[in-house]
Amino acid sequence: MLKSRSFLFSLVVLIAIFFVSACSSGDKNSSGTKNSVKDKNSWEAIKERGKIIAGTSGTLYPTSYHEQDSDDLTGFEAEILKELAKRLDVEIEFKEMGFDGLLTSLKSGVIDIAANDIEITDERKEKVSFSDPYKYSYGTAIVRKDDLSGIKKLEDLKGKKAAGAATSIYMDIARKHGAEEVIYENATNEVYLRDVSVGRTDVILNDYYLQTLALAAFPELNITIHPDIQYHPSEMAIVMKKDNDGLLKKINEVLKEMHEDGTITELSKKFFNGADVSVKQDLDFQ
């Protein structure tokens, strides 16, 4: 009887050890899986795979676009990202998507970084990490040339139809001034501009340099940059997951080199008609 109880006791202990080990092992694997998901966008993971995955729209001239009849992605920020990857000694893979999908894709780990004229804001800083800025600009308004779309100042946006992306800073400004939102899915500049010209929409709030070049590309349209509306000085940068400190450090090191050796200025002048967007403007803003 004593031997039988001893055997049963040993069996219970073995079973208990088995379950503790199994649970411990399961927790470890679970933790490991979580960590691998969490860290797959880190610099160490990117270096190991030999490739960095960058999100951008591919439709925003001149920052990220395709030349006519070409599948090759180019533009101010696209070329910055290519040079960044080259200096980091990794390949680059672009994933093209609408602006509204970029931050979501960062959060889910689909992409490692994003660049698409993305402005640094305090609200976004709570959710993502930004590199040091490489572009400084401010907001303007594209309106109809013949009547300025009935707009004299930002307060006149109330009731006007403002075209843009739902989560952009500029749509937020339009929204706060009472404009009616007209949201587009990764549309080209021509679609935005033509709709203002023919009266489907009234105004496009956006970055000064982007607006200037977009306007020059379609001189036949009944549109212009509003002469009296300058607002919202801004800084643009590369975006990555929140607290991805290792990757942030490497990117900032390379961007500093590119500033110092003139690479960013050279790219700016190439894509912004001679303008150096890497320099802050000294203007009086609304």
Domain boundaries, the chain: 43-134+237-271, 137-233
The pLDDT of residue 162: 98
CATH code: domain 43-134+237-271 is: 3.40.190.10
Query: Which range has the top average pLDDT, 8-22, 33-47, 75-89?
Result: 75-89
Q: Would you place residue 28 in the very low, low, confident or very high pLDDT band (cuts 50, 70, 90)?
A: very low
What does the pLDDT average to over 82-110?
A: 94
Adjacent-strand bridge partners of 241 = 128
91, two tokens: 């390949």
Using the predicted structure, report yes or no on whether residue 9 has a pLDDT greater than 80. no
What does the pLDDT average to over 158-177?
A: 94
Number of neighbours of residue 241 by Cβ within 10 angstroms: 22
Give the CATH fold of the 137-233 domain.
Answer: D-Maltodextrin-Binding Protein; domain 2 (3.40.190)
Using the predicted structure, report yes or no on whether residue 4 has a pLDDT greater than 70. no
Distance of CA 46 to the CA centre of its chain: 19
Cβ neighbourhood burial of 72 (10 Å; 0-12, 13-18, 19+) = exposed
Q: Would you place residue 286 in the very low, low, confident or very high pLDDT band (cuts 50, 70, 90)?
A: low
The pLDDT of residue 68: 84
Using the predicted structure, report yes or no on whether residue 31 has a pLDDT greater than 90. no
Q: Would you place residue 268 in the very low, low, confident or very high pLDDT band (cuts 50, 70, 90)?
A: very high
Task: Pick left, alpha or beta for residue 91 (phi over 0 → left; psi -120 to 50 → alpha; otherwise beta).
Answer: beta
Q: Would you place residue 45 in the very low, low, confident or very high pLDDT band (cuts 50, 70, 90)?
A: very high
Residues of the chain by 3-state class (helix, strand, coil), percent to 5: 45, 20, 35
Q: Would you place residue 15 in the very low, low, confident or very high pLDDT band (cuts 50, 70, 90)?
A: very low
Between CA 85 and CA 106 the distance in angstroms is 18
DSSP strand E in 168-244: where? 180-183, 204-207, 223-225, 231-236, 239-241
Domains 43-134+237-271 and 137-233 share a fold: yes
Distance of CA 53 to the CA centre of its chain: 13
